Amino acid sequence: MAEHPRATAYRALLVAQVRAQTQYRFSFWLDAVSSSVVSLLDIVAVLVLFRATPALGGFSVRQCLLIAALGNVAFSLADASVGNIDTMRQYIRTGRLDSMLLRPMGVLPQLVFGDFAPRRLGRVLQSCLVLAGTLIWIDPQWTVGRAVLVVAAPLAGAVIFASVFVAGSTVAFWFVESGEFANAFTYGGRDFTLYPISIYPGWFRKIFAYGLGFAFVAYYPALALLGVADPLGAPAALAWCSPLIAVPAVLAAALVWRVGVRHYRSTGS
Amino acid sequence: MGIDVPWPRPGTLRTAAALAGAGFRRWATYRQAMLAGAFTNTIFGFLRCSVMLAVAGGAGGVAAGYRGPQLVTYVWVGQGLLAVVQLWGWTELSDRVRTGDVQSDLLRPMHPVLTYLTADLGRAGFAMCTRFAAPLVVGALAFQLYVPHRLTTYPLALLSVLAATVVSFGVRYLVNLTAFWLLDIRGVLVAWMLCANVLTGLYFPLAFLPDWVQPILWYGTPFPSILQAPVDVLVERGSAAHQLSILAVQLGWAAAVLAASVLVQRRAERRLVVQGG
Question: What's the complex ipTM?
Answer: 0.90
Provide the number of CB pairs (under 8 Å) joining chain A to chain B.
112
The whole-angstrom separation of Cα A158 and Cα A231 is 25
Over residues A88-119, the pLDDT tens digits come to 888 888 888 888 888 888 888 888 887 787 87
The half-sphere exposure of B22 on its side-chain side, counting CA atoms within 13 A, is 11
Q: Which residue has the higher pLDDT, B231 or A5?
A: B231
What is the total residue count of chain A? Answer: 269
Q: Is the pLDDT score of A177 beyond 50?
A: yes
Which pLDDT score is estimated for B274? Answer: 65
Q: What's the mean pLDDT when you consider all of chain A?
A: 88
* Cβ–Cβ contact A180 with B under 8 A: yes
Q: Is the pLDDT score of A1 beyond 50?
A: no
Mean pLDDT of A247-257: 94
Please report residues of B whose CB lies closer than 8 A to that of A31. 186-187, 190
The whole-angstrom separation of Cα B268 and Cα A46 is 41
| Interface of chain B toward chain A, CB-CB under 8 angstroms | 30, 32-33, 36-37, 39-40, 42-44, 46-48, 50-51, 53-59, 63-64, 142, 184, 186-187, 190-191, 193-194, 197-198, 203-204, 208-210
Please report residues of A whose CB lies closer than 8 A to that of B190. 30-31, 34-35, 38
Q: Is the pLDDT score of B275 beyond 70?
A: no
Which pLDDT score is estimated for B205? Answer: 95
Q: Is the pLDDT score of B65 beyond 80?
A: yes
The whole-angstrom separation of Cα A48 and Cα B208 is 7
Cα-to-chain-centroid distance, residue A10:
22
Alpha helices in A58-201 (DSSP H): 61-82, 88-94, 97-102, 107-114, 121-138, 144-169, 171-174, 183-193
Please report residues of A whose CB lies closer than 8 A to that of B64. 51-52
Comparing CB atoms, the residue among A45, A176, A184 nearest residue B39 is: A184
Which pLDDT score is estimated for B2? Answer: 45
* Cβ–Cβ contact A33 with B under 8 A: no
Q: Phi, psi at residue A56, to the nearest 5°?
A: -125, 110
Over residues B174-186, the pLDDT tens digits come to 999 988 888 777 7
Indicate the SS3 state at residue B81. helix
CB contact under 8 A, B59 and A54: yes
Would you place residue B166 in the very low, low, confident or very high pLDDT band (cuts 50, 70, 90)? very high
Q: Provide the shortest C-alpha distance from residue A102 to chain B (in Å).
A: 29
* Cβ–Cβ contact A192 with B under 8 A: yes
Q: Return the minimum-mean-pLDDT range out of A158-167, B93-102, B253-262.
A: B93-102
The whole-angstrom separation of Cα A154 and Cα A73 is 6
Which pLDDT score is estimated for B1? Answer: 43
Over residues B26-53, the pLDDT tens digits come to 888 888 888 889 999 999 999 999 999 9
Comparing CB atoms, the residue among A56, A57, A188 nearest residue B47 is: A188
Question: B66 pairs with which residues across the strands?
Answer: B63
CB contact under 8 A, B209 and A31: no
Q: Is the pLDDT score of B85 beyond 90?
A: yes
Question: What does DSSP assign to residue A56?
Answer: B
**Which residues make Cβ contacts (< 8 Å) with residue B148, sequence separation at least 6?**
B154, B157, B234, B235, B236
